[in-house]
């Protein structure tokens, strides 16, 4: 299929970077209290479980690694070594639509058990948002939004990028509050690579 218009890779990178910058700024301003609440939720948790589907799940795996570097007890839902969630734990989720069935089921179960639920989503209201103890709303397109109004990127790309930025931002804030040096965190870094 011939392309009707072309854009260089460099111009595409600039487009993605600009969208990410603007969405990150809007997210941090509109959700300042919620981000503080999410940071507190994570630090007060006995254990942190992360869950997302597809690329959102991959983004949360990055957050799980960074939280582990801080010394938190972190598990990725679906890994064979993930234990049962319990009261006192936190389930951190990411779902643009807030309707991903497996994530809604897991959040429902976590809530029933007495665990708290953190949600990163684009949806003002959704089944997942209804289960949230803390909800961070990202101003980005859902993966089925092909209008290019919220983002020129394909299938929720901007949302997934913001999930990474939120995770890294939470890590950085918690690291600074902890007062640990990079050298103190380093021994927790993977050494079997």
- Active-site residue, 160 included: yes
**Nearest 5°: phi and psi at 164?**
-65, -45
> Two tokens at 31?
């959700």
Q: Which residues contact 153 (CB under 8 A, 6 or more apart)?
A: 15, 16, 19, 141
Provide the CA 134 distance to its chain's centre, in angstroms. Answer: 12
Alpha helices in 45-94 (DSSP H): 54-69
Is residue 131 within 8 Å of 108, Cβ to Cβ?
A: yes
**Set 25, 160, 184, 193: catalytic member:** 160
DSSP state at residue 96? S
Q: Catalytic residue numbers?
A: 160
């Amino acid at each position: 299929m011939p392309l009707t218009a072309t854009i260089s890779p460099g111009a595409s990178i600039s487009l993605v970077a600009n969208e990410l910058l603007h969405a990150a700024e809007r997210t941090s301003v509109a959700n300042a209290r919620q981000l503080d609440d999410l940071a507190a939720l994570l630090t007060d948790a006995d254990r942190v479980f992360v869950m997302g589907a597809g690329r959102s799940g991959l983004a949360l795996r990055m957050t799980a690694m960074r939280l582990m570097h801080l010394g938190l007890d972190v598990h990725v839902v679906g890994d064979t070594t993930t234990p049962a969630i319990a009261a006192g734990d936190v389930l951190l989720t990411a779902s643009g639509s807030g309707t991903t069935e497996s994530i809604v089921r897991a959040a429902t179960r976590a809530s029933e058990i007495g665990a708290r639920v953190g949600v990163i989503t684009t949806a003002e209201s959704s089944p997942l948002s209804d289960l949230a103890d803390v909800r961070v709303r990202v101003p980005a397109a859902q993966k089925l939004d092909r209008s290019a109004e919220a983002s020129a990127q394909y299938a929720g790309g901007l949302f997934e990028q913001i999930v990474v930025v939120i995770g890294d931002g939470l890590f950085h804030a918690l690291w600074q509050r902890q007062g640990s040096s990079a050298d103190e965190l380093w021994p927790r870094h993977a050494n079997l690579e």
